[in-house]
Amino acid sequence: MDAIIVLDMQVGLLNGAPKHDLQGVVRRINLLTAMVRERSGKVIWIRHCGKPGDGFERDAEGWSFLPELDRHTDDAVIEKTLNDPFVRTGLHSTLAQIAPDRVIVTGWATDSCVDSTVRSAISSDHHVVVASDAHTVSDRPHMDAAAVIRHHHRVWSNLLTNRSVRIVTAGQLLHEAAS
């Protein structure tokens, strides 16, 4: 059984610079969450709760999940205040209860919350799969978004782990599930 973590796909991410292939990422996240549910897995939505006035403040417009996302009432929602959703949240215990064979990671932002989640999931001894085309970021001053994403795929592929780290497309995951 899989658990899929969807990071910070909230209305507030629409503010600021455009996000790389955001509509494609949303579409692929919806396909992957449907796949996980169909296979009796668990969908875990991570919601960032920001400080007053920062656009992700609790109950502010930016705090809401993107309306295009296909969320179900039996999905888990875990709120975080830091980049890493494993810190001071119920994510560890939720994953311990689920005991997934692997943890699929998607969402926003590649070089921050997605990166922290991948590293913490590995450190927590989970098999990790990064859906390579189901996370996003905006251009950075020193690097365009596509380069940021490619860089992190290379870094994650070379992390030391007792389990495994796979970087595959959403299409590959969907194909494997259909086989």
- Is the pLDDT at 55 greater than 90? The verdict is no
Q: What pLDDT, on a 0 to 100 scale, did the predictor assign at position 77?
A: 98
> Where residue 69 falls among pLDDT bands split at 50, 70, 90?
very high
- Per residue in 79-116, pLDDT (tens digit) is 999 999 999 999 999 999 999 999 999 999 999 999 99
Q: Going from the N-terminus, what domains does the chain have, and what CATH number goes with each?
A: 2-178 (3.40.50.850)
- Is the pLDDT at 78 greater than 90? The verdict is yes
Average pLDDT of the segment spanning 8-24: 95
Average pLDDT of the segment spanning 53-77: 95
pTM above 0.85, yes or no: yes
Average pLDDT of the segment spanning 149-166: 96
Q: What is the mean pLDDT of the chain?
A: 97
- Which carries the bigger pLDDT value, residue 10 or residue 16? 10
Q: Could you tell me which of 102, 95, 106, 117 has the C-alpha nearest to residue 32? A: 106
Q: What pLDDT, on a 0 to 100 scale, did the predictor assign at position 124?
A: 96
Q: What pLDDT, on a 0 to 100 scale, did the predictor assign at position 53?
A: 87
Q: What pLDDT, on a 0 to 100 scale, did the predictor assign at position 140?
A: 97
3-class secondary structure per residue, the chain: CEEEEEECCEHHHHCCCCECCHHHHHHHHHHHHHHHHHCCCEEEEEEECECCCCCCECCCHHHCECCCCCCCCCCEEEEECCCCCCCCCCHHHHHHHHCCCEEEEEEECHHHHHHHHHHHHHHCCCCEEEEEEEEECECECCECHHHHHHHHHHHHHCCCCCCCEEEECHHHHHHHHHC
